[in-house]
Amino acid sequence: MVTFTEISPALQAQAIELPSWAFGNSGTRFKVFAHPGVPRTIQEKIADAAKVNELTGLAPTVALHIPWDRVDDYEALGRYARSLGVGLGTINSNTFQDNDYMLGSLTHSDPGIRQKAIDHHLECIDIMHQTGSRDLKIWLADGTNYPGQDDIRSRQDRLADSLAKVYARLGDDQRLVLEYKFFEPAVYHTDVPDWGTSYAHTVALGDRALVCLDTGHHAPGTNIEFIVAQLLRLGKLGSFDFNSRFYADDDLMVGAADPFQLFRILVEVIRGGALGPDSTVAFMLDQCHNIENKIRGQIRSVLNVQEMTARALLVDREALSAAQRSGDVLEANDILMDAFYTDVRADLAAWRESRGLPANPVAAYRDSDYQRRIDAERVGGTQTSWGA
């Protein structure tokens, strides 16, 4: 039996990065819903993220998306974030909203458009120098919609060449993380569809290129924890984009659709030594809260990651290894499921209180004045929305 007291030091070190875009309005291709109190500036997004951190103690950094979060003075933005108790994290590039990129960006057959996409990434790296960010996250919408539309092999060659030019600009302590997704917006093929393709490109680039795993970017039924185990084994897991999904890339609150899957992923994270102060894996959320309150949604997500981490830490590793070695299938499965079914909510509430945090951060937010205040204050101006 592993006790909660034994696992609490490991929980202490947990840090989850919030996406700035989670606080803006978002929706589907049918409708973007406007919510009261939604930020109009990156400063207001950071203020909302800082509130999540204040109530949970779990979210010390905010990821920026360029150009959505472009400002004139990134050092001032960093100072503003620090004044609210958070820091600026990963810089996400964006090559999916410019007409020029309709047929591709880093893979485009036109060298001029390819160079434009490379230059955008170089701008992102310049921003990273000013924000002190470690990671450049690249997700490409590149792909094709029809068989024969383009030569998929040449696109891989062009992608490798473009990525090499971006990678060459990174500082010694900066990294490139390449996200894969097997569908959307392209529907026939995407140029980085799976972890293997991302792995192949990042291996070719070098040690500071790693794979980003977005939990919503797999075919239904994919064993994501296997991918986690394999990438950790290969030393190539750079970051997570956590969210959950029922059908496509739904970007629902983490753990909402399948808490057991989140548990299994975190079991492999811990098994692979990727939890703790020395971990080089970035734990980020990538979410859109379309119909629910955004700040409460983010709080719920980070708490769900914490709760499943606690349960995964409760796995009795020694007993599990013994059962595995002896070939006792049912015993091994029981040991894992015992940890999964352990209700850690009361222990976590007490643990939070002992650290001066609210026992129930979701309720604390609901009962606080923050939402009422931003609803009243944030009138006029233009609300940010997904893509703005």
Phi, psi of 290, deg, nearest 5: -80, -40
Residues written for the chain: 388
Q: Please report, as a single letter, which amino acid is at residue 314.
A: L
What residue type is 227 in one-letter code?
I
Query: 17 or 241: whose CB is closer to Mn ion?
Result: 241
Binder of residue 242, out of Mn ion, ligand PSV, none (CB less than 5 to 8 A by kind):
none
**Interior/surface letters 49-61, b for 16+ CB within 10 angstroms, e for the rest:** bbbbbbbbbbbbb
- Give the one entry of ligand PSV, Mn ion, none that residue 44 binds, where binding means its C-beta sits below a cut-off of 5 to 8 angstroms depending on kind: none
By C-beta, is 215 or 309 nearer to ligand PSV? 215
385 binds, among ligand PSV, Mn ion, none (CB under 5 to 8 A by kind): none
Collapsing DSSP to helix, strand or coil, 136 comes out as strand
Task: Report CA Rg, the chain.
Answer: 21
Going by their DSSP bridges, the two strands 135-138 and 282-285 should be labelled as: unpaired
286 binds Mn ion (CB under 5 A): yes
Among 142, 150, 214, 225, binds Mn ion (CB under 5 A): 214
Q: How far is the CB of 360 from ligand PSV (least distance, A)?
A: 29
Min CB(347)–ligand PSV separation in Å: 33
CA distance 23 to 386: 9
Q: Which is nearer to ligand PSV, 139 or 283 (CB)?
A: 139
| Residue 289 Cβ vs ligand PSV, minimum distance, rounded to whole Å | 12
327, two tokens: 């070939």
Nearer to ligand PSV, 167 or 180 (CB): 180
Q: How far apart are CA 205 and CA 207, in angstroms?
A: 7
Q: How far is the CB of 185 from ligand PSV (least distance, A)?
A: 9
Report which DSSP code applies to 244: B
- Alpha carbons 125 and 148: distance in angstroms, whole number: 35
Are the C-beta atoms of 22 and 289 separated by less than 8 Å? yes
Q: What is the footprint of Mn ion within residues 265-284 (CB under 5 A)?
A: none
If phi over 0 gives left and psi between -120 and 50 gives alpha, with beta otherwise, what is residue 6? alpha
Sole binder of Mn ion in the list 54, 69, 225, 241 (CB under 5 A):
241
Q: CB nearer to ligand PSV: give 194 or 286.
A: 286
CB 53 within 8 A of CB 86: yes
Contacts (Cβ under 8 Å, ≥6 apart) of 329: none
Choose between 194 and 286: whose C-beta lies nearer to Mn ion. 286
Report in angstroms how near the CB of residue 248 gets to Mn ion at its nearest: 13
Q: Binding to Mn ion by residue 225, rule CB under 5 A?
A: no
Q: Which residue is closest to ligand PSV by CB?
A: 139
Give whichever of 48 and 179 is closer to ligand PSV, judged by the CB atom. Answer: 179
Q: Could you say which of ligand PSV, Mn ion, none residue 23 binds, taking C-beta under 5 to 8 angstroms by partner kind?
A: none
Label residue 255 left, alpha or beta by phi (over 0 means left) and psi (-120 to 50 means alpha). left
Contact criterion met (CB below 8 Å) for 66 and 89: no
C-beta of 56 vs 243, nearer to ligand PSV: 243
Q: Which residues bind ligand PSV (CB under 6 A)?
A: 21, 92, 139, 179, 181, 214, 241, 249, 286
Residue 177 Cβ vs ligand PSV, minimum distance, rounded to whole Å: 10
Q: How far is the CB of 178 from ligand PSV (least distance, A)?
A: 11
- Please give the residue ranges that form the binding site for Mn ion (CB under 5 A): 214, 241, 286
